[in-house]
Amino acid sequence: MLAVEENVQLRSSQYALIIDLTDLALPGQPIVHIMCNTAFMHWKNMIAHHNPITPVIQNLGLMNQYLIHRSIDFGLLHEAKQLQHLDMHLSWLLHKASSFDFVTEIAGGKTLLVGEGNLSFALSLAEIPKIFPSQLVATTFEAKSNLSREAAANAKGLQSLGVTVLHGVNATKLAAALGSWKFDNIVFQFPHVGSREPVEGRNPNFILVRDFLKSAARQLQPSGKVLISAVDSPHYHGAFQFDEAAEAAGFKTPASYPFELSVFSGYEHTMTNEDESAIDHHRKFRTWVFRR
Ligand SMILES: C[S@@+](CC[C@H](N)C(=O)[O-])C[C@H]1O[C@@H](n2cnc3c(N)ncnc32)[C@H](O)[C@@H]1O
């Protein structure tokens, strides 16, 4: 049980053990009533986020529920109690594996922010007490001379807090602005090219994300990660094709977690085009986390 708790990388042998145990069920035993109970349904309805480990934990939880009821059927009450303990461990593990604390991740190292628009996201991060502003580098695609009044004011605010601010930084050509500088986190909030014109015959936003990931890979510390937040909708998933972009840039399939806008006070999302806003008409957002 402890191995399950301590080692998120569950080994298939552990999973197989539980499946083997279910084979102990006697042939012909009615199992329908076993399946229809609230605990089982609780596990079944659990939302498995797009994270490679969560479906495994969820399956273990379901199997364990089955075992608990089999044990009770056979009068193995002590064993059923132990399995209920395992149920608590698995629930805790699922919770851990499905959550992602954006702020804690940023607080844990040096972070580069690209495509920052009006820089209000960078400013909201810099004002969070557990984040050291000197560990942040905030960049805009736009040149300094092209910044909006709001962006220019936020840039000043960031610099006064000790954040490094750079302008005219192309997220697909980071080395040109940052040389060999390495980061623990590289963040692109709501990437968007502001055009629908296909590039290489593909959605231009897929190309932006793919080329950004390739460039970011060269600026990461060995255990560093890239975070990309986007609207959680089939339309945006289809546009970005994050799994394919990750593979093309040498990252594992990304896990994704809900992005809670309300955590970042003062963050006023900017649009690439006046007529297109990713946030205004949506309520659900996610952060995709890319690791090598
Ligand atoms: C939808 S806006 C989001 C702005 C900001 N990240 C936010 O969340 O408010 C998309 C941003 O991507 C930037 N962008 C587009 N292409 C880029 C590129 N090649 N490199 C860096 N930024 C880019 C645009 O300048 C724009 O600010």
96 within 8 A of 11, measured Cβ to Cβ: no
48 within 8 A of 54, measured Cβ to Cβ: yes
pLDDT at res. 94: 83
State which of 270, 273, 276 you would mutate to test the pocket of ligand 1, scoring each by most atoms of that ligand within 8 A of its C-beta.
270
Closest of 192, 136, 138 to residue 165, by C-alpha: 138
Tokens of 83: 């399995």
Question: Which DSSP helix (H) or strand (E) runs through 22?
Answer: helix 12-22
Q: Which is more confident, 39 or 284?
A: 284
Task: Looking at mean pLDDT, say which of 25-34, 234-243, 270-279 comes out highest.
Answer: 234-243
Q: Model confidence over 181-217: pLDDT tens digits? A: 999 999 999 999 988 899 999 999 999 999 999 999 9
Task: Report which residue type is found at 53.
Answer: I
Instruction: Please give the Cα distance from 44 to 62 (Å, whole number).
Output: 7
pLDDT at res. 54: 79
Question: Which DSSP helix (H) or strand (E) runs through 114?
Answer: strand 111-114
**What domains are defined for the chain?**
5-97 (no CATH), 102-291 (3.40.50.150)
Ligand 1 center to residue 140 CA distance, Å?
Answer: 7
Q: Whose CA is nearest to atom 7 of ligand 1?
A: 269
Instruction: Please give the Cα distance from 23 to 67 (Å, whole number).
Output: 10
Judged on CB neighbours under 10 Å (0-12, 13-18, 19+), 234 is exposed
pLDDT at res. 277: 52
Task: Report which residue type is found at 138.
Answer: A
Task: Report which residue type is found at 255.
Answer: A
pLDDT at res. 98: 75
Provide the mean pLDDT of the chain: 84
Atom of ligand 1 nearest to the CA of 194: 15
Q: Whose CA is nearest to atom 4 of ligand 1?
A: 117
Ligand 1 center to residue 162 CA distance, Å?
Answer: 23
Q: Cβ < 6 Å from ligand 1: which residues?
A: 114-117, 121, 141-142, 170-172, 189-193, 208, 269-272, 278
- Measured in degrees and rounded to the nearest 5, phi and psi for residue 131 equal -100, 130
- Nearest-10 Cα torsion for 257, 258, 262, 267: 60
Q: Which of 80-94, 200-214, 236-250, 258-272 has the lowest mean pLDDT?
A: 258-272
Residue 116 has pLDDT above 80, yes or no: yes
Q: Model confidence over 122-169: pLDDT tens digits? A: 999 999 999 999 999 999 999 999 999 999 999 999 999 999 999 999
Instruction: Please give the Cα distance from 253 to 189 (Å, whole number).
Output: 19
Angstrom distances, CA of residue 145 to CA of 142, 150, 163:
8, 13, 19
State which of 116, 139, 141 you would mutate to test the pocket of ligand 1, scoring each by most atoms of that ligand within 8 A of its C-beta.
141
Other CB atoms within 10 Å distance of the CB of residue 66 = 20
